[in-house]
């Protein structure tokens, strides 16, 4: 069976499909204890403007590392 590749573009234009968009505004939002970033994107090809929402699936938490001294001997 032949493998099919699926290309997913998460930042391309939703109107014309152009690959490149630019971010003109970015805002961090916390709602119902969910952290996400709203970004205003603009297409350089068709001039479409729209907002995207980026949600972090699992926020990184600091790890507690115990420091152990290793003696050579």
56 token code pair: 């972090």
Which two three-digit tokens encode residue 4?
A: 């099919």
What's the pLDDT at 38?
92
pLDDT score, position 32: 87
For residue 35, name the pLDDT band (cuts at 50, 70, 90).
confident
Start-to-end CA distance of the chain, whole Å, equals 57
Query: Closest Cα to residue 42, out of 61, 19, 23, 59?
Result: 23
Query: pTM for the complete prediction?
Result: 0.56
Residue percentage of the chain with pLDDT more than 70:
60
């Amino acid at each position: 069976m032949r493998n099919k590749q699926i290309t997913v573009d998460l930042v391309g234009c939703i109107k014309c499909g152009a690959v490149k968009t630019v971010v003109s505004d970015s805002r961090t939002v916390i709602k119902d204890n969910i952290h996400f970033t709203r970004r205003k994107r603009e297409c350089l090809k068709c001039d479409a403007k729209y907002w995207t929402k980026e949600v972090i699936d699992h926020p990184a938490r600091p790890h507690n590392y115990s420091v152990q001294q290793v003696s050579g001997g």
